[in-house]
C-alpha cells in the first residue's frame, strides 16, 4: 500500500509540474498575441516543452524571469527557490565559467550570434553539474532586445567522461614525450598530431615545431616511401598488431638516416591515429659496416699471405681457405668448402691433418707439424 501511495504522489507531482509548464506556455501565447516580436520565443518554448530540458524566460525590460519546474529539478531545488533576476541565477554558475557565459549571452543580444554554451552550475547538494545551454532573444522593431528565453540540460556524465579521457591522453602525452623515444603521431585520415623532441633531434631539427613544418612524406627517403605507405596501410587494417620495418629517413641536412619503425594504431583525443616509434639504427649500421670492413681487411691479409691458410669446423670441414690454398689444391674456395676431393694430398697426409685438428680442438693449444 505504501508503494502505491508513493507512485500516486509521484504522478500527482508530475501532473502539477506539467500544469505549471502549460500555464507558462499559455502565458507566452498570450504575450505573443499582443506583441508579434515574441513569436520566435513562443515557438522556442513550445519546442523545449517536448524535451527534457529546463526552460527559462526573461523580460529584459522589467528583469522578470520565469523558469520551468524541470529547470529546478535539474538543479535539485524547490520550485521558485532562485530569485527572479539574472544576477540571482548568475550566482549559481561556477566562477570560472560565468564570465564566458555572460560574454556569449551579451554577444547574442547585440549581434544575434547563437548562444550555445557549456558551463558548470551549482546543484542544491553543493557540487557543480555541467549543463549544455541554448538561448534565443527577441528584438523590437528598433533592434532592441526585449526578451530572451533559454534552456539547458544536464551533461555531467558526458563531461566527466570527456575530462577523464583528456586526463588519460594528457598522461599518455607526458609519458611518450618523456620517454626519450622518437615518436610521430598522425591521423589515420592524414595530418600530423605530435612529434616528440627526440625525433626532431634525431633528424637534425632544433625543435619539434621546426620539424612540423616539413611534410611527413618528405621525411622518408624516396626509395622507401612506397614501403612506408604499404606498412602504414597494413597497420590501419590490422589495429591489434604491431608492424615493424627498417627504412631510411632524410635529416634536415639531407643525409640519410637508417631507422627501425614500429607502427601501431591508437586512439588520440577520440580519433584514430597511427603511432610511429622511430629508433635510430645509425650506430648499429656503423658497427655492421665496421665489422664488414674489418673482415675485408682480414681477408685481404689472408689472401695475400704466401702461407697455406684454412679454417675448419669441429668435424674437419673446410669453412675458409686463402688463395694460396686454392692455388695448391687446384680448386676454388667454394668447391673446397662444398666437399671437393683434395686429390693433391695423400691419404696418410689427410689422416695426419685430421689427427692434428682433433688435438687442437682437445687441448686448445697450437700444434706444429
Question: 123, 129 in Cβ contact below 8 A?
Answer: yes
Does the global pTM surpass 0.85?
no
Give the pLDDT confidence of 53-75 residue by residue, as tens digits.
888 888 898 888 888 888 999 99
Q: Is the dihedral of CA 38, 41, 47, 53 positive or negative?
A: negative
Name the CATH superfamily for 10-154: PAS domain (3.30.450.20)
CATH topology identical between 10-154 and 164-280 = yes
- Domain range list for the chain: 10-154, 164-280, 285-363
Residue 293 is predicted with a pLDDT of 73
DSSP class per residue in 268-293: ETTEEEEEEEEEE-HHHHHHHHHHHH
d(CA 144, CA 41): 15
Which pLDDT band holds residue 32 (cuts at 50, 70, 90)? very low
Question: 347, 357 in Cβ contact below 8 A?
Answer: no
Residue 353 is predicted with a pLDDT of 67
Question: 274, 236 in Cβ contact below 8 A?
Answer: yes
pLDDT at 112 over 80: yes
Lowest mean pLDDT among 17-31, 151-165, 216-230, 295-309: 17-31
Check residues 78 and 310 and name the one with the higher pLDDT: 78
Q: How many CA atoms lie within 13 A of 243 on its CB side?
A: 22
> Could you tell me which CATH number the domain at 164-280 has?
3.30.450.20
d(CA 366, CA 359): 9
Residue 23 is predicted with a pLDDT of 63
Which pLDDT band holds residue 173 (cuts at 50, 70, 90)? low
The segment with the largest mean pLDDT, out of 72-86, 100-114, 298-312, is: 100-114
SS3 call for 132: strand
Supply 134's cell numbers. Answer: 541554448
Amino acid at each position: 500500500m505504501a508503494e502505491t501511495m508513493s507512485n500516486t504522489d509521484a504522478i500527482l507531482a508530475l501532473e502539477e509540474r506539467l500544469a505549471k509548464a502549460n500555464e507558462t506556455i499559455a502565458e507566452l501565447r498570450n504575450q505573443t498575441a499582443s506583441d508579434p516580436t515574441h513569436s520566435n520565443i513562443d515557438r522556442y518554448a513550445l519546442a523545449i516543452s517536448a524535451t527534457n530540458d529546463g526552460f527559462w524566460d526573461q523580460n529584459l525590460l522589467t528583469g522578470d524571469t520565469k523558469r520551468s519546474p524541470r529547470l529546478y529539478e535539474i538543479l535539485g531545488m524547490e520550485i521558485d527557490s532562485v530569485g527572479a533576476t539574472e544576477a540571482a541565477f548568475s550566482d549559481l554558475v561556477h566562477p570560472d565559467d560565468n564570465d564566458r557565459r555572460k560574454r556569449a549571452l551579451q554577444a547574442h543580444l547585440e549581434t544575434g550570434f547563437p548562444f550555445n554554451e557549456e558551463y558548470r552550475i551549482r546543484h542544491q547538494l553543493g557540487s557543480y553539474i555541467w549543463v549544455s545551454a541554448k538561448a534565443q532573444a527577441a528584438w523590437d522593431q528598433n533592434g532592441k532586445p526585449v526578451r530572451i528565453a533559454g534552456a539547458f540540460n544536464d551533461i555531467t556524465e558526458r563531461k566527466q567522461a570527456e575530462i577523464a579521457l583528456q586526463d588519460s591522453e594528457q598522461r599518455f602525452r607526458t609519458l611518450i614525450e618523456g620517454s626519450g623515444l622518437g615518436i610521430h603521431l598522425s591521423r589515420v585520415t592524414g595530418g600530423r598530431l605530435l612529434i616528440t623532441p627526440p625525433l626532431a633531434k634525431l633528424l637534425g631539427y632544433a625543435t619539434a615545431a621546426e620539424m612540423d613544418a616539413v611534410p611527413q612524406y618528405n621525411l622518408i627517403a624516396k626509395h622507401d616511401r612506397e614501403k612506408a605507405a604499404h606498412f602504414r596501410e597494413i597497420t590501419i587494417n590490422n589495429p591489434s598488431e604491431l608492424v615493424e620495418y627498417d627504412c631510411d629517413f632524410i635529416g634536415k641536412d639531407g643525409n640519410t638516416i637508417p631507422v627501425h619503425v614500429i607502427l601501431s594504431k591508437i586512439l588520440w583525443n577520440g580519433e584514430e591515429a597511427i603511432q610511429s616509434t622511430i629508433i635510430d639504427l645509425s650506430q648499429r649500421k656503423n658497427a655492421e659496416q665496421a665489422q664488414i670492413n674489418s673482415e675485408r681487411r682480414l681477408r685481404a691479409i689472408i689472401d695475400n699471405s704466401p702461407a697455406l691458410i684454412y679454417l675448419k669446423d669441429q668435424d674437419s670441414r673446410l669453412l675458409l681457405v686463402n688463395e694460396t690454398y686454392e692455388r695448391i689444391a687446384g680448386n676454388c674456395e667454394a668447391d673446397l668448402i662444398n666437399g671437393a676431393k683434395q686429390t693433391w694430398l695423400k691419404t696418410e697426409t689427410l689422416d695426419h691433418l685430421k689427427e692434428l685438428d682433433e688435438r687442437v680442438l682437445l687441448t686448445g693449444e697450437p700444434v706444429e707439424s
